[in-house]
Every structure is written in C-alpha cells, then in structure tokens.
Structure 1
Amino acid sequence: MRLLALSGSLRAASTNTALLRAAAAAAPAGMTVEIYDGLGRLPVFNPDDDEGPGPAPAPVADFRRRLGAADALLVACPEYAHGVPGGLKNALDWVVASGELVDKPAALLHASPRSAVSRAALAEILVTMSVRLVNTDLVTLPLLGLGPAELAALLDRPDSRERLRQALAGFAAAVTAPASFR
C-alpha cells in the first residue's frame, strides 16, 4: 500500500512533519509512506489558472500525480487560529475539481491533543471533497513544545514506533476490508 503523507505545516522544525517521518519509518511491511514536501511551492489557488486550455501549473500537476498514484492519504496538521493552515487548504483547493481525492481513503495523525478545531475543520473539508475518511484520530502524540532532541527521542522510542506501526497496520486493514465491513 502506498500512502502519500501531507504535513499541514511548512516549518522546517515541524512536529507534524517529524510525526509523519516517524510514521514512514515505522510503516509495516508492504506499506510505503511518501512525504509530500511541495505545499510551499504550490501557487495560490485561482480557478482561472486551472480552467484554461493549457495545463495546470507544474507544481500542481506534480501534486495531482502523486495524489493519484497513492492508495491512501495520511495527514498531520497543526491548528492555526482555530483552523486548517492556509498552505494545506490551498493544496486541497487545487484538487477539489480534478478528482484525485474522490473516494481516496485518508487518516489523520496529530502532534498535539489541542488541535481539535482544525481536526474537525479538516475532516469537514475532506469529506466534502468525497475523501473516504477512515480515521480522524489515527494517532495523537503529545509533541507540542518539545525541542528537537526531545522530539527525536520520543519518536524513536520503541513504544512510539510500535504505536505508529500498529495504527498504520490498522488503517491498512480498514482500507482493504470488504465494503460490508467498513
């Protein structure tokens, strides 16, 4: 199973991105997690730039290609001003009409238990886009406020790695289960 992982944070020292990297390292056998790092390169969404006779801007075309190639989506998103960060919302706006996310399974990871408002907002956005949201709380780890060394130590602990591995294995099982069991 191929997962495309999106971090809603553009920060170099993002705890959400660190959580996705840890998830990629802990992925069970048969699963790959590709972390998409192009949110900051996507142009601001403008329908006029997507409706003309020419192709979509190159960063958008690449994002769409990666989404289309993925079996599922994994999202880790901080909360800014009680909402989804603009970079992530912009990326999602670019694929509202193009269809790469229609019926795509997705799960949400959280680097802070305090992101409840953005979690709900992100879930609403994804469901509106016809994403099959399998889990809105796959894993929440208390990473907020940790320094880089503390963050790395926590994510490298065997119990943290195992928790991520089990969560991803459970997500894969839910995604591949027959429709009658979903």
Structure 2
Amino acid sequence: MKILAISGSGRARSTNTALLRAVAVIAQPDHDVTVFADVARLPVFSPDLEAGPLPEPVQCFVDSIANSDCVIISSPEYVRAIPGGLKNAIDWLVSRDEIISKPVALMHASHRGDDMLAQLRLVLSTVSTGFAQDVFVRFALMKLSPEDIADHMMQAAQQASVRGFLHSLAQASDDRA
C-alpha cells in the first residue's frame, strides 16, 4: 500500500514529522510511506489560483495525494485549533477529486490536542468520504527530540501500535475498494 503521511507542522524539527518518518521505517516492507512535511511551502489558498496551472508546490502536493492509496495526517494543535498551514493544505483539496474518496486516518504525537483533533475530524469528514474516523493512534512524544522519537518508536510496543494502525488503515482502504 502506498501511503502519503502529511505532517501538519511547519517546524524543521517537528515532533509530528519525526513520528511520521519513524512510521515510514516501521511500515517497510509491507507499505511504502512517503512523508510530506512541506505545508509551509504551499501558497495561501485562493480560488483564483485554481483557474490556471496550479502553483508548483500545490501541484506536487496534489500529485502526491493522487498517487497514494491512502493518507495519514499527524498534526500539532495551535491555540486549540488546526494549524494554519495544514488547514491551508486541506483548502487546496476541497474542490479537487484527489481526496474525495481517499481513505484518510489520523495519528497524533501528543497526549493533548483533542480540540484540534475534533476540528480536523469534522473537516476531513467533509472533504473525504473515505475518512476513517475509527483508525487512530496516539503517542505521547512531546518534548522529545526527533532523534529521541526515532529511538522511542523503534521499541517493540511502539512498533506493534504502528503496525496495528497500518493494518486497520489497510482494512479501511480495502473496504473502500
């Protein structure tokens, strides 16, 4: 299964990006996970920009979604809400077909963030009929460095959680086919 893992963070040393990079390693060889950590590079959404060729970073993002079997999103919570960069990325997809029936699941790198997760669930259930609300896993990784996250996620219990999550996502994807 080809999975696009989207980090909702614009930080260079993001906890969520580090989590998704660890997931990409754990997923091998059964799944091919590509991490998209460039929400900060996407221009601010405007319907006017959809009329002609899409801006290059947006086209790359859209193509990545189109070429994946499913999507994982892991995002921080900013001021009890979806970070602006992630919301902007989703806005670029609203009038497009690539995300509509794509299976999408959430992963979270913090013990908190429930307000953002509730908002993200609402938004994703609006833009994708494939949003797998019940496919979810959470890890308490706040305050860890990306290197510490990589080490932590290689522990047997964490790998088992990731594999269980990926199995559930694959089942949700198969159910959509």
TM-score, normalisation: structure 1 = 0.90
Change (3 A) 1:144 1:55: same
Partner of 2:128, secondary structure, is coil
Deviation at 1:152, TM superposition (A): 3.1
Paired residues for 1:1-16 under 5 Å: 1-16=1-16
Partner residue, 2:34: 34
Q: Percent identity?
A: 40
* 1:119 and 1:136 in contact (8 A); partners too: no
When residues 149 and 135 of structure 1 are mapped into structure 2, their CA distance, relative to the original with a 3 A threshold, is same
Once superposed, which parts of structure 1, at least 4 consecutive aligned residues long, lie more than 4 Å away? none
- Equivalent positions of 1:42-121 (< 5 A) are 42-51=42-51, 54-121=52-119
Q: 1:135 to 1:27 in 2, by over 3 A?
A: farther
1:145 equivalent in structure 2: 143
Preserved contact between residue 26 and residue 154 of structure 2 (Cα < 8 Å): no
- More divergent stretch after superposition (27-36 vs 62-71): 27-36
User: What residue number does 1:166 align with?
Assistant: 164
Question: What is the aligned length?
Answer: 177
1:164 and 1:70 mapped to 2: Cα distance? 19
Q: Is the 8 A contact 2:110 2:141 kept in 1?
A: yes
* CA radius of gyration, larger in: 1
Q: Contact 1:28–1:165 at 8 Å: present in 2 too?
A: no
1:174 and 1:130 map into 2 onto residues whose CA distance is 13
SS in 2 for 1:99: coil
Structure 2: gaps of 5 or more residues: none
Mapped contact 1:28–1:169 kept (Cα < 8 A) = no
Q: Equivalents in 2 of 1:28, 1:117: separation in Å?
A: 32
Q: Structure 2: how far apart are the matches of 1:137 and 1:79?
A: 19
Q: Which ranges in structure 1 are unaligned for 5 or more consecutive residues?
A: none
Is 1:17 aligned with 2:51? no
1:10 maps to amino acid: G
Q: CA deviation at 1:85?
A: 0.4
- Give the C-alpha shift of residue 163 in structure 1: 1.6
Structure 2: distance between partners of 1:40 and 1:158: 33
TM-score w.r.t. length of structure 2? 0.92
